[in-house]
Structure 1
């Protein structure tokens, strides 16, 4: 029996009729990108098409369509130029902002620094930063309490972590404040510019220009000063276990010539810049929501705490021990499901006409991969708004491939996902065994908002009580 289904690959998905060149829809997305995406999915289904300012846009909401796009048709799409342009203006040409052979070369050179065997060298650096961060910000006397802005706390902590992982450098209070302010400024400005057709040159006055340039210079000076110090130390980097030591010694075995076998000074700086920005803020975001969820769900905090006490006690954990903490890692994974740090992957642009799930996607069209909406779909996650770490415990029902995308998917999956996983679990261990978390009576978690990463719309205040 012939079960072949004839697919009309010239059929375009349904979608809204856009008026006034789609400007009302653009405003709706600027105001509430998550709500606008939900409305599109509810109204039109898993594949949506509309036009805005003469450009075709597609949303794909199902795991099957997303995997087909990111994996099976990976050569038919590139990441859309506009967000890459916005990021590269701040962070330069690096493993996040390059494409094609330039990206493949940089990823080959950088990848050894993120392999599991390198994690042991980083764990000591992460541990030292975590211990110092908890001592500086949280009570050290049994029974003492303090209420803090969790996002500010986790951002400062992970900022110190990434500086130590990159450079073995403990940030001063002044450096941390300057880097914190610079990062926030660049995030806000980046979100603003993503909705512009083009960013004017630096010499031209435009909204946010002065603050952006000052913030960019502050971060670059911080990064470059650490690289300069290491280079002045000649061969001492061979004794270091940090990421910069790996970058300075890295060699591309597939290089066509000696000149391209190693990273240039500019490439080292640019990659340190983006690893600093992406490496601390996404991790801080996950930890912020995880702490809030532990405070909101003390029954799960108790499970995580008991596991940590039984498996690790008061010792500093190893990478192997961290990877075996079932409830700890399941609670972090569920936090990333509910609050994915990157709620939308970079828009893709079609290099040629292509069919995705039988739907026609025209050359030049822009495609959105809405991670948030896939993570909140009841088809893949029953009671999707409920915090249920059991979803990620051993023997739990299998989650469809493509339905869980906190680190992306396909060849451009996040290069630092293993480091981030180890860091989040390690910080969680130190926090859960030393502190109880509580929200104000009757308080709920703030609504999320997209600010490059997924941040609380209002300040998340949590009370930490020393055990």
Structure 2
């Protein structure tokens, strides 16, 4: 009897407690949601409090889905906002404030004059490896240290050494174009140039030889890379932008479980193997950016010490390259960064393997898509403007006897009109449009505007390059805008043309990208006449899956062999 009573009392108590517990939890949730809404609205009132024109934000996503909507193109959206709100205005990504600045004096102040305040890129929404160890993800002093170590890898002398690799890959491009012509096939140029740039970047940066041009359909790495970039902006990333706490959760899960895509895993595994092999074999010196990173890192002292012991023993290094088809290339003697200026180098010149691998990864992705976009746009514009193409062909014929022969750096440097053509193509179709961004590291008065700490700044490259006040008839393809005469008499603002950014955070691979693109265009136009056809998309339209413009449709035109 007593046990039954106790059992009944316990059941009744549990029922009451459960009811109150549920009620309590629901009450707490409601209170938290009310608090969250209040905090969110306060954050979304920042620009109103500062007197900065702004886009009215959605409570949850801010303007995220306005910029990334199904049928939206972010550059068009920002262009409409600029017309509505002026050259300086704000919008929100989730609750993070972003200020768009098109005023060129303020742009120069952000990118160059007051760089110490705007030295960082915005924080990534999900801090996952390897991006956190790249020049994109690193911040403050560590970014300066790594940048100072990596900068010499893109020096003019180093770029000259890898021209042989680029020339050989362009040989394959011309072979592929010739094969397509014999089959009377329509040429889809964006995928062709993607194959070229991925082959080049893999061999020049990662010491990885691929066959993306010869066998695109069966090259797994080519397919994985294109898929990765196409779907880089995922729903998971959107959630992290809308709710920052989720970004921390996703980062923790990813980094703890070492969960990465197949493409990233392939790169990390390959580079680790190459680093191990090269540290064991000091008698062979390779000419690629991975080797240059090794020599610019802590590996330098280890290398010099072991090399000295080898030279003092039975083995010697003969001073010439013996691998990857670069025999006969004279070895460069390594030097300490900033040795000429007499200034002290960075506080920590040693790159960890994690940082080397991470920056190889980001150089590969950046050098693949942006270069393919730039070459595609330039070739497309030449196909649509036969008079400009003919003028370029005459210059090429004067300096290049045979387009099938390799081009030297000195020859490429003499092609002034080619430089004009490429520069104008980057103005008309800048490959990177939403990536010149900065993050303030303290409260700052920028012109008439007070910018709080931890506010993102975005420079609208597309709108600057198409501003009729800066570039009359901006949609017209006119290489003479960059002629020596135009430059000599030009009073155009230095920030009116920034395809590679400006200031200390400008693209470190600019020289590499220009050299590769100009070589490909020079040899292609020297051997083929590019012509538009019925299937050529006019005008050329774009999508924006990440921060780079990508053709929205197949880019088709003819390539007729020249006699």
Smaller-chain TM-score bracket: 0.7 to 0.9
For the Cα contact (< 8 Å) 1:80–1:346, is it kept in 2?
A: no
2 CA distance for matches of 1:96 and 1:320? 32
For the Cα contact (< 8 Å) 2:146–2:349, is it kept in 1?
A: no
Residue of structure 1 aligned with 2:435, choices 339, 345, 357: 345
Name the counterpart of 1:466: 561
Which consecutive residues of structure 2, in runs of 5 or more, have no partner in the other structure?
Answer: 1-48, 298-335, 338-343
Residue of structure 1 aligned with 2:84, choices 14, 35, 43: 43
Q: Which structure shows the bigger proportion of residues in strand conformation?
A: 1
1:65 aligns with 2:106: yes
Q: 1:25 to 1:104 in 2, by over 3 A?
A: closer
Name the counterpart of 2:171: 131
Within 5 Å, give how 1:121-160 maps onto structure 2.
121-135=161-175, 137-139=176-178, 145-160=184-199
2 CA distance for matches of 1:400 and 1:65? 12
Residue of structure 2 aligned with 1:247, choices 290, 293, 301: 293
SS at match of 2:250: coil
Name the counterpart of 1:446: 540
Name the counterpart of 1:300: 388
For the Cα contact (< 8 Å) 2:537–2:555, is it kept in 1?
A: no
1 CA distance for matches of 2:437 and 2:263? 26
1 CA distance for matches of 2:484 and 2:183? 37
1:201 aligns with 2:250: yes
For the Cα contact (< 8 Å) 1:62–1:403, is it kept in 2?
A: no
For the Cα contact (< 8 Å) 2:131–2:358, is it kept in 1?
A: yes
For the Cα contact (< 8 Å) 1:289–1:335, is it kept in 2?
A: yes
1 CA distance for matches of 2:366 and 2:78? 24
Comparing 148-157 with 158-167, which one deviates more in the overlay?
158-167
Name the counterpart of 2:495: 402
1:226-253 CA deviation, whole Å, 9 max, x = no partner? 444434433312xx32222222222565
Give the C-alpha shift of residue 272 in structure 1.
Answer: 1.4
For the Cα contact (< 8 Å) 1:347–1:369, is it kept in 2?
A: yes
Name the counterpart of 2:507: 414
1:358 aligns with 2:448: yes
Comparing 153-162 with 306-315, which one deviates more in the overlay?
306-315
Name the counterpart of 1:327: 417
RMSD over aligned CA atoms reads 2.9
Q: TM-score, normalised by structure 2?
A: 0.73
Structure of larger gyration radius:
2
Which consecutive residues of structure 1, in runs of 5 or more, have no partner in the other structure?
Answer: 1-9
1:80 aligns with 2:122: yes
Name the counterpart of 2:520: 427
Name the counterpart of 1:5: none
Comparing 449-458 with 315-324, which one deviates more in the overlay?
315-324
2 CA distance for matches of 1:419 and 1:63? 27
1 CA distance for matches of 2:251 and 2:447? 43
2 CA distance for matches of 1:353 and 1:141? 58
For the Cα contact (< 8 Å) 2:63–2:91, is it kept in 1?
A: no
Q: TM-score, normalised by structure 1?
A: 0.87
Q: How many residues align structurally?
A: 447
Residue of structure 1 aligned with 2:129, choices 68, 74, 89: 89
Give the C-alpha shift of residue 437 in structure 1.
Answer: 1.7
1 CA distance for matches of 2:264 and 2:207? 22
Give the C-alpha shift of residue 285 in structure 1.
Answer: 1.0
Give the C-alpha shift of residue 348 in structure 1.
Answer: 2.2
Q: 1:38 to 1:22 in 2, by over 3 A?
A: farther
